[in-house]
């Protein structure tokens, strides 16, 4: 796992072989956005300590959606340090293991990538302490709130920190190469609509579930990519 600074003393990316998570710091209080793959809790704790922060100050883990590469270590981290796990109401039953993960409608080019994604260990059933809705305040980042962005999964969310100009897109948007809609969507049309909604927030920094964070000409790049996606369907 690689630890990458995005905003000094505030935001770091935790990059795994497949996918990534983000650590936000409000002084000593910590928030994790997504939780990597199952078995990565020790690495995440080590990354937190390497920043001079304390894992016991991890207050919440906000899951952008229910897929295994985003949920994996949440249960173990929450059990160790007492953090609350937050997820959208529509994905919460999947995260808890009460419902199966919905199968995506794959484009031809996505088939080999999907097979690679399935090599990530399945996430264990994970308690969700708080079920989220669109517009909910999250209690960190000087006013972070939920943006429901369905299409990748029914309960996919973005997390917007308007005070800091930061947007976490989960897998609604990706930047592996050009900025584009995320792959493996259960409903591509809804995913593109969600992409357009996220782009309209015009952030200064966009943090994706896959691909490097974007911190230059971010609003313009998102708007252009969302327009292209809508035009191509």
The mean-pLDDT minimum among 41-45, 167-171, 176-180, 207-211 falls in 176-180
Q: Tokens at residue 175, please?
A: 């930047």
Q: Tokens at residue 82, please?
A: 């007492």
Provide the pLDDT for residue 203: 98
- Write the pLDDT tens digit of every residue in 193-215: 999 999 999 999 999 999 999 99
H helix runs in 13-126, sequence order: 41-50, 68-71, 74-81, 92-95, 111-117
- In the chain, % of residues over pLDDT 70: 100
Q: Tokens at residue 44, please?
A: 């995440």
Distance CA 106, CA 104 (A): 6
Distance CA 141, CA 190 (A): 28
* Structure confidence at residue 116 as a pLDDT band (50, 70, 90): confident
Q: In this structure, are residues 155 and 90 in contact, taking their beta carbons and an 8 Å threshold?
A: yes
Distance CA 181, CA 176 (A): 10
Distance CA 153, CA 172 (A): 9
- Write the pLDDT tens digit of every residue in 149-160: 999 999 999 999
* Structure confidence at residue 223 as a pLDDT band (50, 70, 90): very high
Q: In this structure, are residues 125 and 85 in contact, taking their beta carbons and an 8 Å threshold?
A: no
Provide the pLDDT for residue 15: 97
- Write the pLDDT tens digit of every residue in 25-71: 999 999 999 999 999 999 999 999 999 999 999 999 999 999 999 99
Nearest to 196 by CA among 216, 174, 224: 224
Whether the model clears a pTM of 0.85, i.e. scores above it, the answer is: yes
Distance of CA 38 to the CA centre of its chain: 15
Distance CA 32, CA 27 (A): 14
Distance CA 144, CA 188 (A): 26
Across the range 18-22, mean pLDDT stands at 95
Q: Name the DSSP class of 156.
A: -
More confident residue, 115 or 83: 83
Across the range 124-143, mean pLDDT stands at 98
Nearest to 22 by CA among 78, 75, 57, 60: 60
Q: Is residue 120 predicted with pLDDT exceeding 80?
A: yes
């Amino acid at each position: 796992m690689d630890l990458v600074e995005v905003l000094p003393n505030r935001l770091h990316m935790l990059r795994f072989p497949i996918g990534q998570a983000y650590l936000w710091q409000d002084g000593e209080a910590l928030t994790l956005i997504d939780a990597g793959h199952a078995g990565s809790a020790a690495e995440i704790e080590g990354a937190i300590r390497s920043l001079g922060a304390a894992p016991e100050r991890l207050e919440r883990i906000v899951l952008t959606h229910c897929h295994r590469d985003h949920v994996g270590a949440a249960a173990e981290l929450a059990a160790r340090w007492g953090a609350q796990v937050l997820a959208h109401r529509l994905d919460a039953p999947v995260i808890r293991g009460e419902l199966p993960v919905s199968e995506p409608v794959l484009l031809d080019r996505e088939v080999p990538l999907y097979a690679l994604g399935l090599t990530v260990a399945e996430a264990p059933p994970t308690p969700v302490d708080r079920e989220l809705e669109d517009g909910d305040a999250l209690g960190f980042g000087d006013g972070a709130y939920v943006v429901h962005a369905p299409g990748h999964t029914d309960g996919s969310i973005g997390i917007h920190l308007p005070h800091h100009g930061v947007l976490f897109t989960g897998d609604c948007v990706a930047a592996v190469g050009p900025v584009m809609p995320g792959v493996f969507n259960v409903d591509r049309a809804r995913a593109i609509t969600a992409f357009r909604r996220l782009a309209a927030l015009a952030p200064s920094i966009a943090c994706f579930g896959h691909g490097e964070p974007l911190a230059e000409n971010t609003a313009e790049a998102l708007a252009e990519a969302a327009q292209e996606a809508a035009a191509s369907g």
